[in-house]
Amino acid sequence: MKTIFQRWFRKHKTRLERRLNKRSGGSPARPVLSDHTIHYEVADKARAIPCGGIGLIHQLVARIGLVGDMDDAVHVLKTHLPYHESDHVLTLAYNALCGGTCLQDIDRLRNDTAVLDALGAVRIPDPTTAGDFCRRFEEADVRALLDAFDRTRRRVWAEQPDAFFDLAVVDADGTIVETAGRSKQGQDITYDGRWGYHPLIVSLANTGEVLSLVNRPGNRPSHEGAAAELTRAATLCLEAGFRRVLFRGDTDFSQTEYLDGWNAIANLRFVFGYDAKPNLVARAEELPAAAWQRLTRPARYTVATAARQKPADIRDGIVRDREYDTLRLQSEDVAEFVYRPTACDREYRMVVVRKTIERTKGQRALFDETRYFFYITNEREWTPAEIVFSANDRCHQENRIAQLKGGVRALSAPTDTLASNWAYMVMTALAWSLKAWWALMLPDTTGRWRDRHRDEKRQVLRWEFPTFVNAFVSLPCQVVTSGRRLILRLLSWNPHLAIFFRLVDRLRR
């Protein structure tokens, strides 16, 4: 980071801390949010944009070669007048990164000359043209776009340290995208009576990247097509240099007809939930007492200060007073046995969790009940508890899907066919992968700041999408043209700008 940037950063940080820590004597006579006169004016020569961080993301896109990968792989336009395929894809992704929630929000970027200058563009597609571009896609075109993303992804991964390639954890799950239109081709009635689509999302838990997104009619089961997408993800990871790959999924994804094939692939492991069928429950109940071990879950976080008293549970009091039935977990035990599914030719580890649950009604204890949860795996080195904890970590996949829905707004159906909505989902979800690549491209230092910089990298990878946008994209900037240089001059300070400038320095080098 330049010395002038360091001085500017320290000055604004100190100034803000002094302002926030300022204490006035006594109780002020006026509220803190006081009324004062404001005068609005327009600038004739000065120009500014509210999303100055989009310029750095555009530099990142050029640095990792994403534009060339997309234009080489996707050919849905007969002529380029003037837009290329990459222009359309990046417009949809940048729209999400700049706070857009639908196709119509592209107009906000298109009509801002300062934003166009920051992107080095004379103009960008309008919403109608972007929708028409989505409708040109067929399944083969969407697959080609996913392959283009994978080529870029491997280039980003290649710049990571060796420890990054120890284990690739691949999660799979489906979700419902509800639709309101009555004429959308491919929509169907979901399991809970809604109309919509049922996309499948396969992601890399290490970084949160979306490795595969497949749109399906709403009535299709979660696991349909999952085996092929998981195999594709494993091939990508192993060819990229990962030494081991782990598949995770809930009970819908324990597709036993594919387990032997996955087990035959060297360095591929899986942990899937398994339905509590009567024969498995009987096997668990027949296990001797010595086979069970108490499952002790580690604390979710470490208390940095003194532990505070837990507040009263208001909901529990209401349920107890009204004498509703209440279930409370009393204990968990774990055991394992070997099991061969009907569709398999060999045996696998079946890890079982026995949960003892207390059932109460008001103040009265009724009885305890026992429930069993099963996980099938070919991982031989981990303990049963480690298998359970790894399977439970799959809940982060639900968080990623929530971000794709509510943060990126990629899981929506603004067009009129199954394939065009699939293309829109894939192109808009690129914004989420760009967030991951942004973090992965942060430089790894070897000096005294090494641990701090690695923690910042992991922190940005775990951030929710709005947090990332607010920290690194929604930066008010003055747009200055000086000589042959385009300068984006930051107009405000936030505590994450030191991380921002680390990536600026790397891309400049």
Compute the distance between CA of residue 132 and CA of residue 247 in angstroms, rounded to an integer: 37
Buried b / exposed e over 288-323, threshold 16 CB at 10 Å, is eeeebeebeeeeeeeeeeeeeeeeeeeeeeebeeee
The one-letter code for the residue type at 411 is L
* Chain-centroid distance, C-alpha 365: 42
Residues 6+ apart with CB under 8 A from 306: none
Can you list the residues of the chain whose pLDDT is less than 50?
none
Compute the distance between CA of residue 382 and CA of residue 393 in angstroms, rounded to an integer: 15
Compute the distance between CA of residue 428 and CA of residue 256 in angstroms, rounded to an integer: 33
Structure tokens at 350: 């079946």
Structure tokens at 462: 């775990």
pLDDT (0 to 100) of residue 29: 67
Compute the distance between CA of residue 137 and CA of residue 76 in angstroms, rounded to an integer: 7
Structure tokens at 390: 């790894």
> pLDDT for 13-51, tens place per residue?
887 777 777 766 667 667 767 777 777 777 777 889 999
Q: Please state whether the predicted TM-score (pTM) of the whole model is above 0.85.
A: yes
Residue 385 CB neighbours (<10 A): 18
Compute the distance between CA of residue 251 and CA of residue 280 in angstroms, rounded to an integer: 14
Strand intervals (E) in 259-343: 268-274, 293-294, 325-339
Compute the distance between CA of residue 68 and CA of residue 212 in angstroms, rounded to an integer: 20
Using DSSP bridges, classify how beta strands 177-178 and 168-174 pair: parallel, antiparallel or unpaired: unpaired
DSSP bridge pairs for 177: 197
Using DSSP bridges, classify how beta strands 195-197 and 188-189 pair: parallel, antiparallel or unpaired: antiparallel
Q: What is the CA radius of gyration of the chain?
A: 27
Structure tokens at 88: 């359309």
pLDDT (0 to 100) of residue 307: 79
CA 3 → CA 171, 292, 413, 487, 494, distances in Å?
43, 61, 48, 18, 18
Residues 6+ apart with CB under 8 A from 177: 196, 197, 198, 199, 405, 411, 412, 413, 425
pLDDT (0 to 100) of residue 23: 67
pLDDT (0 to 100) of residue 448: 84
Structure tokens at 214: 């497949």
Compute the distance between CA of residue 112 and CA of residue 79 in angstroms, rounded to an integer: 26
